[in-house]
Amino acid sequence: MAGADQIGQAPRRWWERRWIVPLALALATSGWMLAVEGRQGLARDEAQYFRAGERYWGWFETLGEAVRAGKPGRAFARATVDGFWGDNHEHPPLMKTLYGLSWRLFHRCDCAGPKRGLHPIAVHGKHRTLPLFARESTAFRFPAILLAGLGVALVYGFARRFVGPWAAAGAAVLSVAQPHYFFHAQISCFDAPIAVMALLVALAYWKSLRSPRWGILCGVFYGFALATKHNAWLIPCFLLVHYLWIRRNDFRWEPSKGSQTLPRWCAAGGAGGLPTRRFLRLRPPRVPLAFLSMASLGPIVLFALWPWLWHAPVARTREWVQRHTQHEHYNFEYLGQNWNLPPSPKQTGQWLLRATFPFVSTAFTVPVTTLALAAAGTVVLARRRRKSEASDEPSLVNSEPPEPGARASWLRPGADVDLAPGIFLAVQILGPLGILALPSTPIFGGVKHFLPAMPFLAMVAGVGLAWITRQATSLVRPSRLRQALPAALVVLLCLPAVTETQRSHPDGLGHYNLLAGGFAGGASLGMNRQFWGYSVLPLLPWITAHRPPSNHIYWHDVLHDALIMYARDGRLPVAIGDVGVGEPLVAQADLGVVILEKHFAVYEYLHWESYQTTRPAQVYAHEGVPFVVVYQRAALPPRQEPLPP
Amino acid sequence: MTAVRCGPVKLSSIFDADSFRRRRLAYACAAGIVVLALVETANALLAPLRAPADRDWRAATAAIRAGFQPGDLIVTAPDWADPLMRMHLGDLIPLAVAGRLDAARFGRIWEIAQRGARAPETEGGHVAQSGRHGALTLRRYERAAARVSFDFVAEWSRATVSRVGLGGQVNWCSPLPDRFECPELPSQSVKPELLEIDTSPHLALSTQPAGQATTVIEFDRVPLGRELAVGAGLHNVWLRKSGKGTVSLRVLVQGRELGRIEAGSLTGWTLRKFDTSALAGQSQSVRFEITVDDPTSRTLGFAAEART
């Protein structure tokens, strides 16, 4: 068996300790993101989570004050809890709480000056902090960035169960070196965090098949996932498919206890004895600890972490569930069309076209080499199933064979069976994509909605890496070359993904891969270019320098919360104007921003008509593809006044 | 002094030929992925350099300004580059040109192209001028332009507008400087407006159809040519999303129906060309009748040109 790196072997040198590589990968990932996140504009939803996170921190401040006053119960009163935790209650609080906590700990405070009024909670004076970050937004983003690092480490740890260390490291790199994933991983939202949480729960489930301790942890982690984003509802479904697969032999056609001899009239033509009526003897596999744990500990952890639920748990849980099961259709550009309505049953072509979205988007957004490696990995995993002995497949590390003589129990439900990594990975990848392809699913759009598939896709690519390195080493004779090849190949094969990701920054949402033709190719194919109004950041200096005397600025999809954070970060003047959102307000402004999404065209034409020109004053473009335009009412001199710090 | 013996390194000392022979397909697949990685990396590094630079746009712009004549059309290929083109040349693209019915009336079309694309507006034209400006290709196409004998949007004030109820009662809409105002529904005026239809700009006559009535817009003594081009669709992405009704636009010349255009949330901008060659050279009344099954969130925009 190749990949002599068996789990459990004693490390020979310090750098071979099991935690060194994942730690290094996590630090490198977080470091990479911290180095570049400043070029990433503030996303629409992210700005709301900044506000909510700071409010949630405000509750902890209130709790501290109440404890100091000897009346801790005050902080738990319904009005107090709702006053802080009612903000943005359509999403659970874990990440927002971490964002708020990180902000409180690590921002560089100039909160007592002119920016005091920009905070959603009362600022009583200068905060004492560990001022790690120059910008407040970076302090908010720090937990997401750390979690992205953890995700990479988890991919390494999980992939090591199937492949050697170099291929596992490659899988870890490929999991984050995806332009769309990278975009989401560095901002204070939930899409990359829920992908990491799904991975954490899946890893715990996997280990729980042989270890009851992980069964309990699985429930705790599932609670964290529930408290991160509602995608968590689907995690047990995907795990259940795998569980039923590995225990499929528990279902058998057998005569049940109540087998009956058929009456003679029913057995016409049956000579030589009467047939026996046979039933599917439903002997389902035992419900394993991991699922019991998820069903019990998951909600408990969610409830403990979400004060908004405390005073009306049933009604508010129902409200949360209904908010997302009855979600409206978003506008989303796909293959040249703006989708915002479900196709009627008569429109078969449109129905099919829409159902392709998650698969086509994956094919066009994940680096092509990663996809090719994943294809190779799929073949390897599929061939593994055909082998009588899993260890026959030399590219794979078979670290978890069935234990000889072991018997399955609800505590160790996978003790006696092969754990079928191929099926496991396939379900974790196809599950999130398949849900988005269902016609009954609301139109969300965006790779972000099936990001939880991406770490698993990277793990399959890791299997492909292991296969290629295996081929290469089997071809060459010199031992030094054989030793050097795995590292060299993994670096070479990860290079395109890293280069593409770096190239895409800060506009990862508009990036498409080699198959699609990059930014320009994606635009020509009519694929979505962006959302959330984050892309205005490069234009802020120009807008500041050219703001009109009236200070009436239309910011379109740049949310007011984002403007406030830009001001707190020192990227906009504190008193920058904002006429508000909505079509009638375009005419009230003398300078207007339009974010170029297909369904936002109406706002550009409103500017044409109001300003009587089709000529934008500024365009922000990435590789020649426009993202944002700014219109300026004619004959207005720029505002001449110094900017506040 | 030590003698050094140099000789050719045998490939067989590096590669296992037997292994190669046995597993050619596997090695070919692996080599293919390695080559793909090299190509993708090179592309990621080089593609940004191939994107048009600002100096390319400035050079193409200067060439257009040097040869531009009133009535010329400027387009980009692919069309997503349009905002960059307008930043440089927007003063040459008035609202009426940006919101055109189609490109038939333009005999000279400047196209700024990249990545080998061609604008659909240039169809049927021949290249009269061509030049390369960095990553941009500038071409001037020339072709026979359609002569517009009557532009129904530009001549909107010559119309008479009424609402005809189910029982046949007629309510006349009053002409105001910027619109027609109908008495029973003053908010539902008929006016020329730049609309967003199918996420594209269209300068059109807009109206919110009434549920229990037919909106009639009639033009007398229209000089007809060989065809009557009519484009129609529903305005505003949010209204298209929230409404469900289908608007019907019936086109009649001298009382005879030429055809209909149905506009729903997913029909986009529908352009139809009706043959009027039998009436070419005559002045006739042209009537547009607009009905709807459910008027909620429906704003119809239509434009029409009589062409020779």
Q: CA-CA distance, A170 to A494, in Å (whole number)?
A: 6
B257 phi-psi bin (left φ>0, alpha ψ -120 to 50, beta other): beta
**Which of B36, B51, B241 lies nearest to residue A624, judging by beta carbons?**
B51
Which A positions 590-629 lie with beta carbon below 8 A of chain B? 596, 598-599, 601-602, 605, 608-609, 612-619, 621, 623-626, 629
Whether A271 shows a pLDDT value over 50: the answer reads no
Identify the pLDDT of residue A467: 96
Which amino acid, one-letter code, is at A342?
P
* Distance separating the N- and C-terminal Cα atoms of chain B: 98
Identify the pLDDT of residue A227: 98
Helices (H), A510-576: 518-525, 540-545, 560-568
- What percent of chain A has a predicted confidence (pLDDT) above 90? 76
> pLDDT: is A409 or B258 the higher one?
B258
Indicate the SS3 state at residue B108: strand
The domains found in chain B, sorted by start residue, are 54-142 (no CATH), 148-307 (2.60.120.260)
Closest CA to A29 of A137, A190, A151: A151
Beta-carbon pairs below 8 A across chains A and B: 168
Q: CA-CA distance, A244 to A238, in Å (whole number)?
A: 10
Identify the pLDDT of residue A47: 98
**Which of A492, A521, A608 lies nearest to residue B37, judging by beta carbons?**
A492
How sure is the predictor about A249, in pLDDT bands with cuts at 50, 70 and 90? confident
Whether A68 shows a pLDDT value over 60: the answer reads yes
Identify the pLDDT of residue A255: 59
Contacts of A475 in chain B (CB under 8 A): 15-16, 19-20, 27
Compute how many other C-beta atoms are within 10 angstroms of the C-beta atom of residue A476: 17
Q: Are strands B108-113 and B73-77 parallel, antiparallel or unpaired?
A: parallel
Identify the pLDDT of residue A404: 80
Contacts of B84 in chain A (CB under 8 A): 619, 621, 624, 626
How sure is the predictor about A93, in pLDDT bands with cuts at 50, 70 and 90? very high
Overall average pLDDT of the A550-562 stretch: 97
Overall average pLDDT of the A252-279 stretch: 51
Q: Which two tokens mark A496?
A: 């395109």
Identify the pLDDT of residue A273: 46
Residue pair B118/B141 in contact (Cβ under 8 Å)? The answer is no
How sure is the predictor about B5, in pLDDT bands with cuts at 50, 70 and 90? low
**Which of B36, B47, B93 lies nearest to residue A368, judging by beta carbons?**
B36
From A211-225, A405-419, B67-81, the region with the lowest mean pLDDT: A405-419
Whether residue B39 and residue A472 make contact (CB cut-off 8 A), yes or no, is no
Whether A269 shows a pLDDT value over 50: the answer reads no
Assess B40–A contact: CB distance below 8 Å, yes or no: yes
Overall average pLDDT of the A405-434 stretch: 92
Identify the pLDDT of residue A439: 83
Identify the pLDDT of residue A642: 42
Please report the ipTM that was assigned to this predicted complex.
Answer: 0.94
Q: CA-CA distance, A496 to B46, in Å (whole number)?
A: 12
Overall average pLDDT of the B255-276 stretch: 96
Backbone angles phi, psi at A167, to 5 degrees: -65, -35
User: CA of B219 to nearest chain A CA: how many angstroms apart?
Assistant: 26
Q: CA-CA distance, A276 to B246, in Å (whole number)?
A: 62
How many residues make up chain A in this entry?
A: 645
Whether A390 shows a pLDDT value over 50: the answer reads no
Residue pair B136/B110 in contact (Cβ under 8 Å)? The answer is no
Identify the pLDDT of residue A443: 86
DSSP letters of A353-410?
HHHTHHHHHHHHHS-HHHHHHHHHHHHHHHHHHHSSSGGG-TTS----PPPTT----S
Q: Which two tokens mark A486?
A: 């795995």
Identify the pLDDT of residue B23: 87
Dump pLDDT digits (tens) for A129-186.
999 999 999 999 999 999 999 999 999 999 999 999 999 999 999 999 999 999 999 9
Compute how many other C-beta atoms are within 10 angstroms of the C-beta atom of residue B89: 21
Identify the pLDDT of residue A479: 86
From A15-29, A248-262, A431-445, A539-553, the region with the lowest mean pLDDT: A248-262
CA angle A95/A100/A103 to nearest 5° reads 125
Identify the pLDDT of residue B10: 75
Overall average pLDDT of the A570-582 stretch: 96
Identify the pLDDT of residue A1: 37
> pLDDT: is A625 or B23 the higher one?
A625
Whether A521 shows a pLDDT value over 50: the answer reads yes
Q: Dihedral angle at the C-alpha atoms of B291, B292, B296, B301, nearest 10 degrees?
A: -60
Whether A645 shows a pLDDT value over 70: the answer reads no
Q: CA-CA distance, B183 to B177, in Å (whole number)?
A: 16
User: CA of B302 to nearest chain A CA: how many angstroms apart?
Assistant: 16
Residue B286: in which H helix or E strand, if any?
A: strand B283-292
How sure is the predictor about A282, in pLDDT bands with cuts at 50, 70 and 90? low
Q: Which two tokens mark A114?
A: 């002119």
Q: CA-CA distance, B285 to A42, in Å (whole number)?
A: 57
Whether A264 shows a pLDDT value over 70: the answer reads no
Dump pLDDT digits (tens) for A103-136.
999 999 988 889 999 999 999 899 999 999 999 9
User: CA of A102 to nearest chain B CA: how many angstroms apart?
Assistant: 35
Contacts of A468 in chain B (CB under 8 A): 30, 33-34
Overall average pLDDT of the A327-340 stretch: 91
- What percent of chain A has a predicted confidence (pLDDT) above 70? 89
Q: CA-CA distance, A157 to A172, in Å (whole number)?
A: 9
**Long-range contacts formed by B243-246: CB under 8 A, 24+ apart:** B243/B294, B243/B296, B243/B297, B243/B298, B244/B294, B244/B296, B245/B292, B245/B293, B245/B294, B245/B295, B245/B296, B245/B297, B245/B298, B246/B292, B246/B293, B246/B294
Residue pair A162/A420 in contact (Cβ under 8 Å)? The answer is no
Residue B139: in which H helix or E strand, if any?
A: strand B136-142
Identify the pLDDT of residue A272: 45
Residue A200: in which H helix or E strand, if any?
A: helix A191-208
How sure is the predictor about A344, in pLDDT bands with cuts at 50, 70 and 90? confident
Helices (H), A229-275: 235-246
Which B positions 184-243 lie with beta carbon below 8 A of chain A? 193-196, 199-201, 236-238, 240-241
Whether A392 shows a pLDDT value over 60: the answer reads no
SS (H, E, C) B200-235: EEEEEEEECCCCCEEEEEEEEEEECCCEEEEEEEEE
Identify the pLDDT of residue A636: 54
How sure is the predictor about B7, in pLDDT bands with cuts at 50, 70 and 90? low
Residue with tokens 């022979």: B21
Whether A386 shows a pLDDT value over 70: the answer reads no
Q: Which two tokens mark A9?
A: 């072997």
Dump pLDDT digits (tens) for A444-487.
878 999 999 999 999 999 999 999 999 999 988 888 888 999 99
Closest CA to B192 of B207, B176, B204: B204
The full set of domain ranges for chain A reads 152-211+231-246+328-510, 534-632
Computed over every residue of chain A, the mean pLDDT equals 90
Which A positions 312-371 lie with beta carbon below 8 A of chain B? 329, 331, 338, 340-341, 347, 350, 367-369
Query: Burial letters for A409-431: b for 16+ Cβ neighbours within 10 Å, e otherwise?
Result: eebbbbbbbebbbbbbbbbbbbb
Identify the pLDDT of residue A349: 73
Contacts of A609 in chain B (CB under 8 A): 95, 193-194
Closest CA to B110 of B152, B146, B73, B81: B73
Q: CA-CA distance, B50 to B233, in Å (whole number)?
A: 38
How many residues make up chain B in this entry?
A: 308
* Distance separating the N- and C-terminal Cα atoms of chain A: 63
Whether residue B33 and residue A464 make contact (CB cut-off 8 A), yes or no, is yes
